[in-house]
Structure 1
Amino acid sequence: MSGSVTPGRTVDSERQGERGVGVTKGLDGAVIAVAGAGGPTGRAVLARLAGAGAHVYGADADAGRLHESVEAAPGTHGAVVDLLDPAATRRWADDVEREHGRVDGLVHLVGGWRGGKRFADNSLEDWTLLHDLLVRTVQHTSLAFHEALARSPRGRFVLVSAAAAGQPTQGNAGYAAAKAAAETWTLALADAFAESDAAATILVVKALVNDAMRQARPNAKFAGFTDVADLAVEIAGLWSTPAIDLNGKRLCLNIP
């Protein structure tokens, strides 16, 4: 774990006699882990969560990208973790929980894309890569964090998915299938959260866009794309929404 740690105060939900229907208290003092924290999306999410008062712990396999994200979001912490290694992932989860005695959220941002225009462009080599990035990392992080999240009065597991999972195109078969598998795994986690105050939620985008992409393609429209800053706002808002309204939900952003 990097950076200094300031002990956070425990914030409990105000119960209303039913699990998942507590009055939420947002992100103030929440302990949030972010998997795949490197890159523009990770930078935006880390900054937004930290700015809302959360203790944020990012992980990425790329030390350089992770460093840039942490530097851009003062007060956040970073750990270089191979999320394809289940033991390493569990050690990261244990480290995060040890710092504050709890974990209130895991945001899964690990991504990747391979594909083409025709069905024949799909390859099993691409599928192997996509399965690791988009499915295995979800499995490893959810298994490592789910018990801590279930104990939290405001636990949230957030998967960022793609519209392709429900609307695959011929050249996108591997990517769409991997995203669909990750969504199914997340819905199973939601079922595990049914008797707790935690929630597993899927945020669906057509694609993401950031300032560097716009600068590289100034004439591009990026129609229906979700800006990474807007995605970060949506993610942060999940801690201000009762779990009963989020658990097992597939929420579509900017998709007609």
Structure 2
Amino acid sequence: MSPGAQGRNGGGGPLDGAVVAVAGAAGPAGRAALRRLAAAGAVVVGCDADAERLAGAVGAARDAAGGATVTGDTVDLLDPAAARAWAERIERDHGRVDGLVHLVGGWRGSRSFADTDLDDWAVLHDLLLRTVQHTSLAFDEPLRRSDRGRYVLVSAAGAGQPTAGNAAYAAAKAGAEAWTLAMADGFRKAGRAEDPDVPAAAAVILVVKALVNEEMRKAKPNARFAGFTDVDDLAGDIAAVWDRPAEELNGTRLWLTAQPERRP
């Protein structure tokens, strides 16, 4: 087991010494998650398709967390074999995998439903759904072997109440949610050897309206970003997933923004 897997910055909390993988680690939300998880004492392994941006994100998280164990792997998550090899490598190198945080994102939309471009669907299907399928299947067994396994999907409120111009995006997000809830049912049915009534791990969905970061605020200083979740706040909510027991968390949708009222 890697020496870093003993935890450096945690104070005996639920993430101290945990080994957590972050998919989509080079984006604003991924960078925030790397920093927060490392500061809580986790050994963090990020992945992204962009090697240069990933290296910057890993270095910044390592520095911010006082030399915590943060590493990065360039992985094509659209390749199921590459995703599985990544999961196997993490477990081999660190002796365990305690979490996968899915932060691979993307957005495309149209002015109206009739203007929907099915090329947008092809792109978003890959980014938002295929990567969920590949990471969940790759990490399912390693997470079951952990005593604190968590699969965390960040989704959007629009998945349950899509607007006319967001058909492709909402459909991809809804598919990702359904897939994650199926994983949660698998965890529930597996149970723990010592207590079959406790899920083997927990799969959970964090629901936001949209995300905002400091660069967006600087670019639009007069914008309100009403209902948006700051990426640093999201990172705190991700870390808090390990504070709750699997039987309470598994298969839930946790709202980080106000739930929309049902349209007539």
Same fold by TM-score, threshold 0.5 exceeded? yes
Q: With CA pairs under 8 Å and 6+ residues apart, which has the higher RCO, 1 or 2?
A: 1
**CA deviation vs aligned residue, 1:64-123 (integer Å, no higher than 9, x gap):** 221121011113100000000011111111111011211000000000001122112211
Residue in structure 2 matched with residue 146 of structure 1 by the alignment: 140
User: Among residues 88, 91, 94, which one is paired with 2:82 in the alignment?
Assistant: 88
Residue in structure 1 matched with residue 211 of structure 2 by the alignment: 208
User: Among residues 24, 35, 39, which one is paired with 2:23 in the alignment?
Assistant: 35
Alpha-carbon distance in structure 2 between the residues aligned to 1:68 and 1:172: 32
Amino acid of the structure 1 residue aligned with 2:32: A
Alpha-carbon distance in structure 2 between the residues aligned to 1:69 and 1:116: 31
Shift of 1:164: 0.6
Amino acid of the structure 2 residue aligned with 1:88: A
**CA deviation vs aligned residue, 1:145-188 (integer Å, no higher than 9, x gap):** 00010111100000000001001000000000000000000000
Report if aligned partners of 1:159, 1:186 keep a CA contact under 8 Å in 2: yes
Shift of 1:197: 3.5
Shift of 1:255: 1.9
Residue in structure 2 matched with residue 20 of structure 1 by the alignment: none
Amino acid of the structure 1 residue aligned with 2:97: V
Gaps of 5+ in 2: 63-68, 192-198, 260-264
Alpha-carbon distance in structure 2 between the residues aligned to 1:64 and 1:41: 17
Alpha-carbon distance in structure 2 between the residues aligned to 1:187 and 1:180: 11
Shift of 1:206: 0.1
Report if aligned partners of 1:115, 1:121 keep a CA contact under 8 Å in 2: no
Alpha-carbon distance in structure 1 between the residues aligned to 2:56 and 2:6: 28
State the SS of the aligned residue for 1:8.
helix
State the SS of the aligned residue for 2:235.
helix
Residue in structure 1 matched with residue 46 of structure 2 by the alignment: 58
State the SS of the aligned residue for 2:81.
helix
State the SS of the aligned residue for 1:193.
helix
Report if aligned partners of 1:25, 1:239 keep a CA contact under 8 Å in 2: no
Give the length in aligned residue pairs.
Answer: 239
Runs of 4+ in 1 over 4 A off after TM superposition: none
**Residues 70 and 7 of structure 1, relative CA distance in 2, 3 Å threshold:** closer
User: Among residues 171, 181, 184, which one is paired with 1:187 in the alignment?
Assistant: 181
Shift of 1:40: 1.1
- TM-score normalised to the size of structure 1? 0.91
Alpha-carbon distance in structure 1 between the residues aligned to 2:29 and 2:74: 17
Alpha-carbon distance in structure 2 between the residues aligned to 1:9 and 1:62: 29
State the SS of the aligned residue for 1:119.
coil
Alpha-carbon distance in structure 1 between the residues aligned to 2:155 and 2:52: 25
Gaps of 5+ in 1: 11-23
RMSD of aligned residue pairs (Cα, Å): 1.3
1:120-139 map, 5 Å: 120-139=114-133
User: Among residues 44, 61, 67, which one is paired with 1:73 in the alignment?
Assistant: 61
Report if aligned partners of 2:185, 2:251 keep a CA contact under 8 Å in 1: yes
State the SS of the aligned residue for 1:72.
helix
Alpha-carbon distance in structure 1 between the residues aligned to 2:201 and 2:6: 19
User: Among residues 151, 154, 160, which one is paired with 2:154 in the alignment?
Assistant: 160
Residue in structure 2 matched with residue 175 of structure 1 by the alignment: 169
Between stretches 94-103 and 77-86, larger displacement belongs to 94-103
User: Percent of aligned pairs with the same residue?
Assistant: 67
State the SS of the aligned residue for 1:167.
coil
Residue in structure 2 matched with residue 252 of structure 1 by the alignment: 255
**CA deviation vs aligned residue, 1:175-226 (integer Å, no higher than 9, x gap):** 0000000000000000011113410000000000000000000000000000
Residue in structure 2 matched with residue 15 of structure 1 by the alignment: none
Shift of 1:25: 4.7
State the SS of the aligned residue for 1:78.
strand
- TM-score normalised to the size of structure 2? 0.88
Shift of 1:7: 4.5
Amino acid of the structure 1 residue aligned with 2:71: H
